[in-house]
């Protein structure tokens, strides 16, 4: 029998920035300040936050997650769409930014307008290749995930992402966690179709 139980951590809205945008937002030569390592190897939460501006509203204090990436992307919650004024914001895997909404980002040293990069993260599970074997899943496979107790649900279309640079961990967001009454460190069960 393949393994089925997986650790779930919840994402709040956050942003990944490119080297160029980091310099524009925080000043040339600025280095990100790590406050906490995340479970995915090499990924970390930063002291730095920015303001994200949409057509109707803004969120202050949006945390930067490091390290820098090739392209800036901001992952919001579905519930953020209304305040920002971006209904029908694209639901995407990280890095898939074609056709995503534009946004303005304001930092302490300057602001940048991005033509794209605002997404709602598609719920997903990170696997290292060894874990993927034990769970019997392959990269890009869609599975369902049972989460929560009395107020639980089976989330559909959870994408499996397999890479040697990943650690076994499911990422839901705060909306999804609140909907099923779970916090960080909850355990979910993968259900294959």
Q: How far is the CB of 87 from a second copy (least distance, A)?
A: 9
Q: Is the omega angle on the peptide bond into residue 38 within 30 degrees of 0, that is, cis?
A: no
Query: Which residues, including other chains, have CB under 8 Å from residue 8's CB and lie 6 or more apart?
Result: 145, 147, 169, 170, 171, 172, 177, 182, 184, 185, 186, 187, 188
Q: Is 122 in the site for a second copy (CB under 8 A)?
A: yes
Q: Does 119 bind a second copy (CB under 8 A)?
A: no
CA separation for the pair 134, 131 (Å, rounded): 5
Tokens read off for 162: 């397999």
Residue 150 within binding range of a second copy, rule CB under 8 A: yes
Helix count and strand count (H, E) for the chain: 4, 14
75 binds a second copy (CB under 8 A): no
| CB nearer to a second copy: pick between 114 and 122 | 122
The binder of a second copy chosen from 26, 59, 101, 155 (CB under 8 A): 155
Query: Among residues 123 and 161, whose Cβ is nearest to a second copy?
Result: 123
Nearer to a second copy, 44 or 174 (CB): 174
Q: Indicate the pairing of strand 73-76 with strand 58-66.
A: unpaired
The answer to the question of residue 159 lying near a second copy (CB under 8 A) is no
Instruction: Quote the tokens at residue 75.
Output: 């992952």
Identified binder of a second copy from the candidate list 20, 60, 139, 156, rule CB under 8 A:
156
* Cα 89–chain centre separation: 14
**Measuring CA to CA, which residue among 19, 39, 44 is closest to residue 30?**
19
Closer by beta carbon to a second copy, 53 or else 180: 180
Q: Which stretch binds a second copy (CB under 8 A): 33-41, 96-104, 110-118, 177-185?
A: 177-185
Q: Is 44 a residue that touches a second copy (CB under 8 A)?
A: no
**How many positions of this chain bind a second copy (CB under 8 A)?**
23
Give the residues lining the site for a second copy (CB under 8 A): 77-79, 91, 122-123, 144, 148, 150-157, 174-176, 178-181
């Amino acid at each position: 029998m393949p393994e089925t139980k997986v650790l779930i951590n919840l994402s709040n809205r956050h942003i990944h920035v490119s080297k160029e945008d980091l310099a524009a937002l925080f000043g040339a030569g600025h280095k990100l300040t790590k406050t906490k390592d995340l479970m995915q190897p090499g990924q970390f939460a930063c002291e730095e936050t920015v303001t994200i501006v949409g057509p109707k509203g803004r969120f202050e204090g949006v945390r930067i997650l490091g390290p820098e990436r090739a392209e800036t992307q901001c992952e919001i919650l579905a519930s953020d769409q209304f305040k920002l004024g971006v209904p029908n914001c694209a639901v995407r895997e990280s890095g898939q930014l074609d056709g995503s909404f534009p946004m303005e980002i304001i930092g302490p040293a300057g602001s940048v307008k991005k033509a794209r990069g605002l997404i709602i993260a598609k719920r997903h599970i990170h696997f290292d290749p060894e874990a993927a074997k034990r769970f019997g899943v392959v990269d890009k496979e869609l599975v369902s995930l049972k989460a929560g107790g009395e107020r639980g649900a089976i989330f559909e279309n959870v994408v499996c992402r397999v890479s040697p640079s990943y650690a076994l961990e499911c990422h839901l967001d705060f909306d999804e966690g609140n909907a099923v009454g779970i916090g960080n460190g909850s355990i979910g069960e993968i259900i294959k179709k």
